[in-house]
Structure 1
């Protein structure tokens, strides 16, 4: 950057493989940017890309990114915007080759580098990781920094942490080193806020009715300063809103305790300070950094076998009896029982319903087995054969199928020195990136099951928890997190006292028998829960109604608790003032 004192503007155009295709052009045309970043990878995405690569070894990357570049490279070159994405997936070299071909065809001046070394599946056995079909270590941002320092205009990576896209960009712009822990941690937090695209501008937001122009949300921008602080914003005139609440919600997404571990620095989430400094402008400051952990997290994907399922409709009277007779008949009719058979009765019916749909419930059966035969067509075929011999009103929602392969995600950890973090620079020279010399054994945050204080809150009224609290939840392998926050100090004090681990289990009976950790984040007026193994062995394998736990927080908000009437009165007064002001 020509002016190191000027904050750099980093706009994120993708939060997952399948995000809004037009976001690249919208961000380029919407205003000035120094960098475009894009997160295309998730645990499930790595399995999808693995299947692509099995069909064609030249693939294994996010193909939509290549098409986005074909349509926008001219504008990218004209505006001299750097592009940093993890769209390389399992084949960053292949994506770099394809990009160079597009650049040559379009005759634009853009230099490409790629970061790899994360793919350690060939060494899985020697590293004690078993025999997965994919094994990818989460790399940090200094490979990206090295590529940019060497003159790259576009950097594509394999598996790096989501925040590393911003960390590498900022570290290059400001010349940060491994010992600039506070600055790196600040960039980690900024990267975490914008990594999920529109979730920072009002997407998936608990108080979504307060967000203007939800029709087409703008994508977020992080204005990162040399000291690691940032301002989260969006292009003027785009939909949505950037406010302390939307930023808080994203900060709580898929995190654990107060320490947010990354390969370059551990960010202390309990030091984050948020302030609204203008319309659609939230300042993020005060972030403290600690040494990164000595081990890198590794995403392991195993082929689990074949999964198949069917649903039958149960209508009218005697729903549970109908479900029981069908289950008994079906299991007796199976030629061979699959290794795993799961039943779920979803009671969507209601008494004296005025439509047939409202009078009906769904019974779902899922089979999993390593043998394609046991979970294949003979499984669903056994259900079809009962069509004229079971409960009254028997209906299948879909014809029988053969099932499909499913993967199992498993996290592991490997010493960072054993992973060859590499950069192929624009001139073709490959450079190895040494891990931070500061890395150390991570400090494990202590879970606090309940608050240590008790307050007389006065009169209460039974209302949904979401009357007071916002929530954001998501998957972390087989576990899930639920972050809740309040919008005033008093409401946070009440939330902290009220929502203990025991109370959470009472409100969410599905997690009553699971291990739950509770962490406090007073700076964000938030508490965060991590529920172990609620998602079994990960998104690709589990058959839970909400396999990624995206709705878990909203379910919790819908549960009724005793809310102090003074909070309700204060909200009513605020709503009246807002109405009178309009």
Structure 2
């Protein structure tokens, strides 16, 4: 069976649905619209209008493509329902009536725990959504649904559901389910599997308009990752490896239906733009479900001062003293960051300049509003030489705080709602296994001493690819290499202590390392580097997407024979 993906986030390429439907044969088309930050955005939408809370762009795509999908026999599964899957299902039915189509539309609900948040020990958030699994989708598809929309299911569930429905898998077919989870994890982020955000991007023959990925899933759980013929981008062992490492922890990748062993699979070429994922192993899922919690944290404002030329640090110190003295009512948080983007003896003014960022946060919008930014602007003729800012003063904006909660799966309703209104309760897994870290495998044999003795000081990225991303307030960095000799060096060299040396921002944070020999990869999980989540933090790279590239740019002594 062939499952294509047409969305990796809310805001992805609008034309992708049509491109996937016209580019070649598919059985199912899926879309992932729900990042952690998206749930906050939809929560604020719902505050303004209870009828909202779903991904409106999905409706626009269906208006253009629903008739085409029905003509081609392609069924659609997407989590675009967000906080209001029932509302989206109703809107789709109204759309089908407008288009003169007869389409069976079903939805899955139960993930929204907001009315029970306090009773479940989750506090008083703006949104509280449990990550559901795939069996509600399976039930809808088995009862004739042509379009299934869900709320907060796991990203991979929109792929697992069609596979389980097609092959008639049972809830204890763990190896098969694990294979579908891993295939889903590869294609859920769209073109990240076909050369987008790829460390070795210069090897991609045509990245102008990369095609979206397809998973050809087999009954045994193995799969081939590919894309439509003639589309841009690249599917290779490396692009698939990169996506497998994205936003994971260790060898166990937990989902509500199965815990997939990332350390079980093998990747191999299966022809041009085709990669076989074989040997998946799965275990019983954990007894709890993760809950995405978003709350309004307060109000935030920021101003960035440009410091040019000489005495950068002295200028920054002067401005900081002046501004803090000028603020009559100090915000609860005042965060300063000096970005030394300046160069010595620079040939342009921009490259001679550094940036001094000041971020203010408080529960009271008045404390971070124009009074805060105006205090800085009033110093324009009384501060450091060359005073200027990147933007005029503005009002404070609401920011969110993300946390993860966990509840017993039996406490979470999981309901499939058919086109005729029939409601089917989906039971939780009867067999569970508490999630525990897998034991790290033995280190490979170190390289011979004579090989280690002949080195060059070069960037790590000459031999290692990388991918990084956010998980709440934490982040991961996955690095992989291409040869066994490079793996032997990487596993022994890139320890937690070495990572802290290379990335000083991690020096005081909890960091764990996980070895994945089958991918020739190491994965680091860095706790709390993003504070209280993407919306809260003012870090230069708030979603940690560039962390891996920073690490790849750091210089190490690398054995000469490992360097291409």
Give the TM-score taking structure 1 as reference length: 0.95
Offset from partner CA, 1:144-178 (integer Å, 9 cap, x none): 00000011000000000000011111010011111
CA deviation vs aligned residue, 1:230-284 (integer Å, no higher than 9, x gap): 0000000000110000000000000001000000000000001101010000000
| Separation of aligned partners in 1, 2:4 and 2:273 | 14
Cα distance in 1 for partners of 2:76, 2:443 equals 45
- Alignment match of 1:531 (pick from 521, 526, 532): 526
CA contact (8 A) 1:451 1:500 kept: no
Report the CA distance between 1:448 and its aligned residue: 8.3
> Which runs of 5 or more residues in structure 2 are unaligned?
none
Partner of 2:514, secondary structure, is: strand
Shift of 1:354: 1.8
Aligned position for 2:479: 484
Shift of 1:439: 1.7
Aligned: 1:94 with 2:87: yes
Verify: 1:352 aligned to 2:352, yes or no: no
Distance change (3 Å), C-alpha of 1:324 and 1:450: farther
Work out which of the residue numbers 435, 440, 460 in structure 2 matches 1:465.
Answer: 460
Alpha-carbon distance between aligned partners in 1 of 2:97 and 2:60, rounded to the nearest angstrom: 15
Which of 243, 246, 252 is the matching residue for 1:253?
Answer: 246
- Could you tell me which runs of 5 or more consecutive residues in structure 1 were left unpaired when the two chains were aligned: 1-7, 572-582
Partner of 1:425: 418
2:225 match:
232
Which of 400, 403, 408 is residue 401 of structure 2 equivalent to?
Answer: 408
Aligned counterpart in structure 2 of residue 168 of structure 1, from 148, 153, 161:
161
Cα deviation for residue 447 of structure 1 reads 6.2
1:58 matched residue in structure 2: 51
1:254 counterpart SS class: coil
Q: Identify the residue that residue 4 of structure 2 maps to in structure 1.
A: 11
Structure 2 CA distance, aligned partners of 1:106 and 1:443?
50
1:322 is aligned to 2:311: no
For 1:169 and 1:467, locate their aligned partners in 2 and report how far apart those are by CA, in whole Å: 40
Following TM superposition, by how much is the alpha carbon of 1:228 offset from its aligned partner in structure 2, in angstroms?
Answer: 0.7
> Equivalent residue for 1:286?
279
CA contact (8 A) 1:178 1:264 kept: yes
Kindly indicate whether the alpha-carbon contact (under 8 Å) linking 1:347 and 1:362 is maintained by their aligned counterparts in 2: yes
Which residue is equivalent to 2:506?
Answer: 511
Preserved CA contact (<8 Å) 1:449 1:501 = no
Give the C-alpha shift of residue 109 in structure 1: 2.4
Cα displacement (A) at 1:108: 1.4
Cα displacement (A) at 1:34: 0.3
What secondary structure is seen at the aligned counterpart in 1 of 2:356?
A: strand
Return the TM-score normalized by structure 2: 0.98
> How far does residue 443 in structure 1 lie from its aligned partner after superposition?
2.6
Alignment pair present for 1:121 and 2:124: no
Q: Structure 1 residue 454: deviation in Å?
A: 6.7
1:362 aligns with 2:355: yes
CA contact (8 A) 2:457 2:558 kept: yes
Number of positions where the alignment pairs a residue of Structure 1 with one of Structure 2: 562
**Does the 8 A contact of 1:462 with 1:561 survive in 2?**
yes
What per-residue deviation string (whole Å, max 9, x for no partner) do you get for residues 65-118 of structure 1? 000000111101110100000000000011001000000111112110010100
- 2:371 aligned counterpart, secondary structure: helix
| Equivalent residues of 1:448, 1:518 under 8 A apart | no
SS in 1 for 2:289: strand
* Superposed displacement of residue 11, structure 1: 0.2
Mapped to 2, the partners of 1:274 and 1:547 lie a distance apart of: 32
